């Protein structure tokens, strides 16, 4: 049985019944939740960092799972001791606003983090979401992350790189800070939810003008609820020569069927096979 520690780096789940539904689902999947109490008060950035440090330092914790997204996770970054996390390795999981932690923690510690469903998403998960999440926490017996998922190829090809990415607006907010993503040699994925097309256009244009795509080996467009993936691709294609593989996978992001992705893992993207395969990955207690 794997032990889960719940952290609250962003919003609080508003309704206790929704929180409890996610906790029950974790128990039904065979996890032991070490702190199943419903949190009712928001924490300061320092308190959130302290909670993260406690979770990483606890040798009984197997998975550190965010309660939900929202906003404000990035405020925690100045208070996180990355050297401490590196000395006490753990597996952090979450997505959306938690992208602001997944990528910096991975880059500053060398740890792989999980772009994964959170307590808020696990109340009524689909079979695919459960299968992908359990594949991750069980050490990735299935190396093809896209197995069973629909894909659309915008520009074909093959690429190797370090998997990085997450919520577009959140990661754009980290640019020009000491925690912005290093995109060199990366396979970069983006998702977002209910943003207007002009907002997505502005964010991607900022990445282009900042030269953040110069070292990228491939781009994966996740779900942009309310915007078609073709529209997102055209924002890129209208401003830069597309010489790298670009695909769309609608099961990345704020969707019912959700792929768990290892941020910081070495992967290979093959558009002909429509596969994204882990080639090298290190998790505490797991080596692939």
| Coil, helix or strand at residue 202 | helix
Do residues 6 and 130 share a domain?
Answer: yes
Name the domain count of the chain.
Answer: 2
pLDDT tens, residue by residue, 146-170: 999 999 999 999 999 999 999 999 9
Residue 60 lies in a domain: yes
Residue 15 lies in a domain: yes
pLDDT over 70 at 286, yes or no = no
Which residues, 6+ apart, have CB-to-CB distance to 35 below 8 Å?
5, 6
Q: Which among 137, 166, 201 is the end of a domain?
A: 137
Do residues 158 and 279 share a domain?
Answer: yes
Residue 142 lies in a domain: no
Do residues 89 and 195 share a domain?
Answer: no
Do residues 50 and 88 share a domain?
Answer: yes
Do residues 209 and 258 share a domain?
Answer: yes
Confidence of residue 116 (pLDDT cuts 50, 70, 90): very high
CATH number at residue 176: 3.50.30.60
What pLDDT, on a 0 to 100 scale, did the predictor assign at position 213? Answer: 98
Distances (CA, A) of 76 to 13, 50, 104, 119: 18, 9, 11, 20
Residue 144 lies in a domain: no
pLDDT tens, residue by residue, 21-38: 999 999 999 999 999 999
| Coil, helix or strand at residue 182 | coil
Do residues 45 and 94 share a domain?
Answer: yes
Q: Percent of the chain beyond pLDDT 70?
A: 98
Domain of residue 30 covers 2-137
Question: DSSP H helical segments within 119-253, as ranges?
Answer: 127-137, 168-173, 197-209, 229-237
> Which segment of 68-72, 90-94, 245-249 scores lowest on mean pLDDT?
68-72
What pLDDT, on a 0 to 100 scale, did the predictor assign at position 1? Answer: 85
Confidence of residue 284 (pLDDT cuts 50, 70, 90): low
CATH number at residue 21: 3.40.50.10740
Give CA–CA dist 175/108, Å, rounded.
16
Please identify every residue annotated as catalytic.
96, 191, 254
Q: What pTM does this model have?
A: 0.96
């Amino acid at each position: 049985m794997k032990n889960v520690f719940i952290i609250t780096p962003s919003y609080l789940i508003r309704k206790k019944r929704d929180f409890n539904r996610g906790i029950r689902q974790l128990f039904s999947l065979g996890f032991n939740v070490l702190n199943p109490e419903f949190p009712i008060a928001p924490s300061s950035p320092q308190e959130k960092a302290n909670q993260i440090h406690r979770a990483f330092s606890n040798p009984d914790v197997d998975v550190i799972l965010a309660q939900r997204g929202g906003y404000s996770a990035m405020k925690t970054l100045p208070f996180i001791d990355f050297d401490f996390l590196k000395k006490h390795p753990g597996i952090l999981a979450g997505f959306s606003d938690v992208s602001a932690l997944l990528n910096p923690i991975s880059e500053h510690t060398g740890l792989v983090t999980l772009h994964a469903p959170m307590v808020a998403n696990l109340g009524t998960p689909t079979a695919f979401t459960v299968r992908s999440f359990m594949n991750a926490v069980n050490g990735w017996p299935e190396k093809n992350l896209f197995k069973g998922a629909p894909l659309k190829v915008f520009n074909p090809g093959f690429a190797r790189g370090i998997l990085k990415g997450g919520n577009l607006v959140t990661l754009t907010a980290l640019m020009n800070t000491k925690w912005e993503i290093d995109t060199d040699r990366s396979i970069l994925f983006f998702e977002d939810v209910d943003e207007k097309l002009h907002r997505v256009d502005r964010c991607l244009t900022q990445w282009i003008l900042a030269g953040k795509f110069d070292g990228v080996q491939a781009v994966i467009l996740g779900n942009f609820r309310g915007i078609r993936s073709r529209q997102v691709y055209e924002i890129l294609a209208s401003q830069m020569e597309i010489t790298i593989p670009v695909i769309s996978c609608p099961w990345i992001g704020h969707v019912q069927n959700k792929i768990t992705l290892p941020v910081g893992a070495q992967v290979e993207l093959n558009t002909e096979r429509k596969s994204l395969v882990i080639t090298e990955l290190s998790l505490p207690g797991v080596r692939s």
